[in-house]
A and B are shown apart, each in its own frame.
Chain A
Amino acid sequence: MVELYGQKLSSRLLLGTALYPSPAIMAEAVKASGAEIVTVSLRRETSGGKSGGQFWSLVQSLGVRVLPNTAGCHSVNEAVTTARMAREVFGTDWIKLEVIGNHDTLQPDVFGLVEAARILVAEGFEVFPYTTDDLVVAERLLEAGCRVLMPWCAPIGSARGPQNPDALRSLRGHFPDVPLIVDAGIGRPSHAATVMELGYDAVLLNTAVAKACDPVAMAAAFGKAVEAGREAYCAGLLESRDMAVPSTPVIGMAAFS
């Protein structure tokens, strides 16, 4: 079980709801993944509220918790206002806080992120900050009142997997009691398993499932990889060694010459 802001969850996979071939496939993928939390967003309504209403009904029918995001916000003010509107619509204090700092890399503006987190925590929000793997930024976010951290492992949608495992390891080591979720950059189930083996509490991904040839099958694959990685971490992994070490006993070998 993992606990996020007092909410106990069996699944350690959080899934995004964007980029699927159809809403029906998205719904099937969520079920196949076992995810108990999905991310959603807010956008301008163009058809009298009907398209948003249909999407929201579908998400509600899945019986999962929603984590609204502030995706696409490039300023503190935009992110804070979007968070307030998301709370109104989705009826949750949870917010996946994104303050984007660069159009090309979609990396977080960590200065704006800390500032926005401070404002939202003061208003009673439970903030899930999308951040880099920088240790000092993580400390500032915790000082601001965040009780979960969501470092990237590679740029959003890049599918490159853990680019700096040492930094991820360092965060895990420094904050043993803070739930850490890798958000962004996961491309393959093996990437998810890798960060779970580092002791991360959960993984949040979207594109790797939604853009697979078979998103439903890939969702199931990620569900298994996250579980496998977690079980491996808990079981205690063998440290890598410089030299070969035989596994078959060397005592009792026959002598043929």
Chain B
Amino acid sequence: MKLIVNGQSHEVAAETLAALLAELDFQGGWLATALNGDVVPARERDRCQLTEGDRIEILSPMKGG
């Protein structure tokens, strides 16, 4: 299915957010995720079902002022 991940279109097989992270090779306990503007905590990614056209944000720590 087609998803928008960090603003870019991706064609993926994953049906959950956890599977999506694995499929796109995102690893690490420091990642934060949101689905269609709502935060999805790490512990809920397994149960977080994705549907066509969903917008996913995957963020990680960055320098800041």
| Interfacial residues, chain A to chain B (CB-CB below 8 A) | 16-20, 26, 39-46, 48-53, 55-56, 59, 68-69, 71, 77, 81, 84-86, 88-90, 156, 206-207
Contacts and interface: CB of A to CB of B under 8 A. Distances in A.
Contacts of A156: 65
B12 interface: no
Q: Per DSSP, are chain A's interface residues mostly helix, strand or loop, or mixed?
A: mixed
Contacts of A86: 32
12 contacts: A18-B63, A41-B64, A45-B58, A48-B27, A49-B30, A52-B28, A52-B61, A59-B61, A84-B39, A85-B57, A88-B32, A89-B60
Interface of B: 6-7, 24-28, 30-34, 37-39, 41-42, 57-65
Given A44-B57, A45-B31, A85-B34, A18 B26 contact: no
B64 A44 contact: no
A44 B26 CA distance: 12
A48 B26 contact: yes
B60 A45 contact: yes
A52 B30 contact: yes
A49 B32 contact: no
A40 B63 contact: yes
Contacts of A52: 28, 30-31, 59-62
B59 A46 contact: no
A49 B34 contact: no
Contacts of B34: 81, 85
A127 B50 CA distance: 33
Given A56-B30, A86-B32, A88-B42, A45 B64 contact: no
Most buried by A among B7, B26, B41, B64: B64
A88 B62 contact: no
Given A53-B30, A81-B37, A89 B62 contact: no
A44 B7 contact: yes
Q: Which of B25, B31, B38, B65 has the largest count of A CB atoms less than 10 A from its CB?
A: B65
A19 B41 contact: no
B64 A17 contact: yes
A17 B63 contact: yes
A11 B10 CA distance: 47
A69 B65 contact: yes
Contacts of A89: 30-32, 59-61
Contact of B62 (A20, A41, A206, A207): A41
A43 to B, nearest CB: 4
Query: When A and B form their complex, which 3 residue pairs have the shortest distance between CB atoms, in order from nearest?
Result: A52-B60, A41-B64, A16-B65
A171 B31 CA distance: 38
Contact of A41 (B6, B7, B57, B63): B63
B59 A55 contact: no
A49 B62 contact: no
Contact of A42 (B32, B38, B65): B32
